[in-house]
């Protein structure tokens, strides 16, 4: 029997690598076309193009150090072809020559499409929110 939770954990690791590579198209390749992302302290980004634009802008910003999302729990419902991932995220930047870190919790909803698992929704909150 296929371990779909392990597949999703592996995809999350790959999406973290895409962020580290500063490749917004690669980051978006894990997303459904109609993805919705609720950014911590920010807007809700709807659709893959809006998310690509946001990643391009952030990755061009001086001092951007990336994000790492670490899954703590992945629950799969094979009957509906959906999964829920819950975890911790950390973002890093250099601001005025100093390291800055921001972190919090996230949830992600995945759906199983014809090409495999893709992220349908993500919501990020900062610690203290």
User: What digits encode the pLDDT tens for the residues 58-105?
Assistant: 999 999 999 999 999 999 999 999 999 999 999 999 988 899 999 999
Q: Is the per-residue pLDDT at 106 higher than 80?
A: yes
Q: What are phi and psi of 26, to 5 degrees?
A: -65, -40
CB distance 118 to 81 below 8 Å: no
Q: Is the per-residue pLDDT at 29 higher than 90?
A: yes
pLDDT of residue 128: 64
pLDDT of residue 13: 98
**Cα–Cα distance for residue pair 63/82, rounded to 1 Å:** 36
Domain boundaries, the chain: 4-126
**Cα–Cα distance for residue pair 40/55, rounded to 1 Å:** 14
Q: Domain spanning 4-126 has what CATH number?
A: 3.10.450.50
């Amino acid at each position: 029997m296929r371990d779909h939770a392990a597949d999703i954990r592996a995809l999350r690791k790959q999406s973290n690598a895409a962020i580290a590579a500063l490749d917004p198209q690669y980051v978006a390749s894990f997303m459904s076309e109609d993805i919705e992302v609720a950014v911590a302290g920010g807007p809700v980004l709807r659709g893959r193009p809006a998310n690509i634009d946001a990643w391009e802008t952030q990755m061009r910003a001086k001092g951007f150090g990336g994000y790492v999302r670490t899954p703590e729990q992945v629950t799969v419902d094979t009957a509906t072809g959906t999964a829920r991932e819950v975890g911790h995220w950390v973002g890093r930047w250099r601001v005025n020559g100093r390291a800055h870190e921001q972190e919090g919790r996230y949830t992600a909803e995945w759906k199983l499409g014809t090409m495999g698992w893709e992220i349908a929704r993500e919501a990020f909150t900062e610690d203290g929110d």
